Amino acid sequence: MQKTIEEIHGDTEGVVYQLPVYRFAGSSPDAPSAYIQAALHAGELPGVVAIHALMPRLRQAEAEGRILGNITVVPAANPVGRAQYLYGDLEGRFHLGTRTNFNRDFPLLDRPEKSALPPATASATVDVRLKRLLVELSIGHDIVLDLHCDDEGVPYLYVPVELWPAMENCAAAMGVEAVVLWQGSSGAAFEEAAIHPWLQLPPEEAALDRRVVTTVEFRGQRDVESATAASDAEGIYRLLATRGVIADEAAARPRPFTGIAAPIANVEMISMPRAGAILFHVEPGQRVEQGARLATIVHSPGEPDGAIAIHAPQAGYILTRIIHRSGRAGDDIIKLVGETRSARPKDGALED
């Protein structure tokens, strides 16, 4: 294994961020390569601890000569966001300087090669330079895993529809409970930047059945636990074995995917009709019928009619809910994967 440290200069003099990168060299030139990064949204740490649990497995595989394809690991992909503490709270989703989501506006290349990257410009802000660097590190890998988490949720994947159902064995290997299939634009999220160049190629060159591109949502922000880190690391390891990056017959044993796979248009973003305190009546992983009470919003405490109930617009599966217990009118508080297309489907990414 080789460790390097990428340096990213901040937007002011005297500020330099460091990004450790770990590389394992594969022994077989034909084997698929893999790139794994975590905490692009800097406060989402389940993937970071999963990588920490995965690394000893990779080192062991390397010592035993079982690493077939090149593997690049970036355990903490966003040192810029990681430093953005504001009055005690971490703002790891949006860059404070530009108010841009760290997982949007990645460069979309027209071919999967470093030479297709836009030129590095000295005047670009630090978040733009970070995004360019992450694309440069990941481009050309057959497998790209971007480890995130939701507010509160089950483990689930976003997968480009072009890679489904070929990626069903990956979802099964990782043991996730749901897969949300998206198509088109996601506001140039990292995942879109990873698949976009391949989709520009003719099918015989793109070899999409060899590609794995996914945003992995490892449950919720507070699910940073030894046990889930170990099981998530095991899931990633099984995926690498299943796709032939690592030689391990037992880990690569096929298993069925028993979760839900649904188009993103089926996802109901349940929003608050009024501001107030949120009482949830459902939790992630639960199935609900149409009309089921999902939450009560207490908007005028003390008044006889001071609360309003929110009901399920259709039958489905509770994927996530927000971490807060208060909100504003219009805030999305639950993602429900409906059995059919939503009457109000979201175009592109589900959230800002």
- Token pair for residue 343? 């009457």
3 state SS of 8 = strand
In the chain, how long is the greatest CA-to-CA distance? 70
Cα 26 to chain center, whole Å?
Answer: 25
**Which residue number, 24 or 156, has a Cβ lying nearer to Zn ion?**
156
Choice from 21, 33, 41, 48 touching Zn ion (CB under 5 A): 41
Q: Measured from the CB of residue 114, what is the shortest distance to Zn ion in angstroms?
A: 25
Name which of residues 249 to 268 contact Zn ion (CB under 5 A): none
Q: Measured from the CB of residue 338, what is the shortest distance to Zn ion in angstroms?
A: 23
Characterize the bridge pairing of strands 71-74 and 34-38: parallel
Choose one: 43-51, 205-213, 298-306, 308-316; the region binding Zn ion (CB under 5 A): 43-51
**Which residue number, 94 or 237, has a Cβ lying nearer to Zn ion?**
94
**Which residue number, 199 or 350, has a Cβ lying nearer to Zn ion?**
350
Q: Give the binding-site size for Zn ion (rule: CB under 5 A).
A: 3
Contact 175, 237 (CB under 8 A): no
Choose one: 19-27, 37-45, 68-76, 257-265; the region binding Zn ion (CB under 5 A): 37-45
Q: Measured from the CB of residue 106, what is the shortest distance to Zn ion in angstroms?
A: 13
| Look-up of token digits 């990004």 | 19
**Which residue number, 113 or 351, has a Cβ lying nearer to Zn ion?**
351
Spell 335-345 as b/e; 16+ CB within 10 A means b.
bbbbeeebeee
Q: Measured from the CB of residue 46, what is the shortest distance to Zn ion in angstroms?
A: 10
3 state SS of 136 = helix
Give CA–CA dist 136/197, Å, rounded: 13
- Residue 148 in the binding site for Zn ion (CB under 5 A): yes
Name the residues that contact Zn ion, by CB under 5 A.
41, 44, 148
